[in-house]
Structure 1
Amino acid sequence: MAAPQPINVEDLDIHYGDFLAVQGVDVQIRPRSVTALIGPSGCGKSTFLRTLNRMHEVIPGAYATGRVEINGEDIYDPKVDPVNVRRRVGMVFQKANPFPTMSIRDNVLAGVKLNNRRISRAAADELMERALRGANLWNEVKDRLDKPGMGLSGGQQQRLCIARTIAVEPEVVLMDEPCSALDPISTLAIEDLIHELKQEYTIVIVTHNMQQASRVSDRTGFFNIAGTGKPGHLIEIDDTDTIFTNPSNTQTEDYISGRFG
């Protein structure tokens, strides 16, 4: 299996119709590591995150220009199928979203079935167990796999969604504030899981919690916006320790020290 390559983003502009939401992002995201994105509300962090698997295009009128290269392929090449991009680049959302009518088992396998993969019952059970173990959830649910996923606690539901994401064996996992609705114990469980997942996946996480960014990430990028109606910009990205102790840009320092945001 070839070694994973960085995600290369070049001259990326993100639009919602006539509105330029994010401008001029150039960044390289290291493979098999955790990159956190921080910054004030409305600065484009989540918008940028959704361009990494073309989810922003689901919004009418939204589009991006520039280049996003994942494992050597520009995902915005006209020949590239966005559905295939979303299989390779999984997404975990802010609010846990198990499918309400499905069992725990069927929730985990939903993405696999949506991708029209024909799979035997034995192979499906093996894949489901592997994904649940990967999400640190197997021991908690192994005796109730046919019960509804919605019957789990909030933190367990979020880990179920992570299991569903990794079951399709993506290369990259995007997380949009995955702990914002969780209690501290569940948050710790997700953070511990992120540390384990980076052994196999490239992870990009948006968080409003700077302490969380400092705990879970290897590198941190700071987004900011000059004012209402202006586009967001990636101000700087560096090793997390450097961003939090010796940032190169005064905007970053002002945000981290609490002067705004």
Structure 2
Amino acid sequence: MAQRIDVKDVNIYYGDFLAVEGVSMSIEPRSVTAFIGPSGCGKSTFLRTLNRMHEVIPGAYVDGSVLLEGVDLYGPDIDPVAVRRNVGMVFQRPNPFPTMSIKDNVLAGVKLNNRRITKSDADDLVEASLRGANLWNEVKDRLDKPGSGLSGGQQQRLCIARTIAVKPQVVLMDEPCSALDPISTLAIEDLIQELKKDYTIVIVTHNMQQAARVSDKTAFFNIAGTGKPGKLIEMDETATIFSSPTEKATEDYVSGRFG
């Protein structure tokens, strides 16, 4: 299921403005890669290029290549919708569809992709996805109740269940715990460790401790100043980034001297 991502010389634009410049990196399958760096340095913008969500913004585009198991996601014959099916996204704030039941929320992506599914298969998929998101035992007796009735942490796990129901190879998470309390954050972090057994996980986080706890590799992004493009400064094993980084800017950031 999990797949490798190779990024080569990616530049990201909003119209004429170069937002992120010259990023190259490899993201290993069945691992967690964390993107860290100060606000405005392009972490989330770069994350959205990995499933072609960046270009949804009018005038936004990318040059360079993003290879998923050797296939360029920006190739001329590649369907962006198919890319987003293979590379799922979990957003900063939980966003279950408020008028849908818990069950229908899980199945939303499957139905959106026009996959025909029997009631029995649908029930099995809902259970498997909710178990995969470590939510089944909490909601199995109220699957027909609105997803919006769950707590914030449960809603975020419901969104993760919705993401994995379509069986992606990669799961992107854009600050998935920033709106959650500490107990819910711990539940999501534990879940990330479970999910990496089957998926390639990429997470943007402002929380240094979270990056240190959940990720195998960490990429540090920075920006030289307002109006300048964000850049990847260095990427290495997480333990190395936090204990003996190569670049002084990385050391200053992870030690709390700026950011």
Q: Please indicate the TM-score interval, normalised by the length of the shorter structure.
A: over 0.9
SS at match of 1:54: coil
What pairs up with 1:192-203 in 2 under 5 angstroms?
192-203=190-201
- Distance in 1 of aligned mates of 2:142 and 2:60: 41
Q: Which letter maps to 2:27?
A: I
- Distance in 2 of aligned mates of 1:246 and 1:156: 37
- Distance in 1 of aligned mates of 2:92 and 2:250: 24
Q: Structure 2, unaligned stretches of length 5 or more?
A: none
Paired position in structure 2 for 1:156: 154
What pairs up with 1:216-227 in 2 under 5 angstroms?
216-227=214-225
Paired position in structure 1 for 2:27: 29
Q: Structure 1, unaligned stretches of length 5 or more?
A: none
- Corresponding pairs, count: 259
The question of whether the paired residues in 1 share the 8 Å contact of 2:3 and 2:170 is answered with no
What pairs up with 1:1-261 in 2 under 5 angstroms?
4-261=2-259
Alpha-carbon displacement from aligned partner over 1:95-151 (angstroms, at most 9, x marks no partner): 000001100000000000000000000000000100000000000000000000000
The question of whether the paired residues in 2 share the 8 Å contact of 1:4 and 1:71 is answered with no
Q: How far 1:5 sits from its partner (Å)?
A: 4.3
- Distance in 2 of aligned mates of 1:55 and 1:221: 20
Q: How far 1:4 sits from its partner (Å)?
A: 4.7
Normalised to the residue count of structure 2, the TM-score between the two structures is 0.99
- Distance in 2 of aligned mates of 1:27 and 1:141: 39
Alpha-carbon displacement from aligned partner over 1:155-204 (angstroms, at most 9, x marks no partner): 00000000000000000000000000000000000000000000000000
Normalised to the residue count of structure 1, the TM-score between the two structures is 0.98
Q: How far 1:259 sits from its partner (Å)?
A: 1.2
Q: Is the alpha carbon distance of 1:107 and 1:151 closer, same or farther for their aligned partners in structure 2, counting shifts above 3 Å?
A: same
- Distance in 1 of aligned mates of 2:99 and 2:91: 19
The question of whether the paired residues in 1 share the 8 Å contact of 2:224 and 2:230 is answered with yes
- Distance in 1 of aligned mates of 2:76 and 2:43: 25
Q: How far 1:71 sits from its partner (Å)?
A: 1.6
The question of whether the paired residues in 2 share the 8 Å contact of 1:98 and 1:161 is answered with yes
The question of whether the paired residues in 1 share the 8 Å contact of 2:3 and 2:199 is answered with no
The question of whether the paired residues in 2 share the 8 Å contact of 1:14 and 1:21 is answered with yes
- Give % identity: 78
RMSD: 0.7
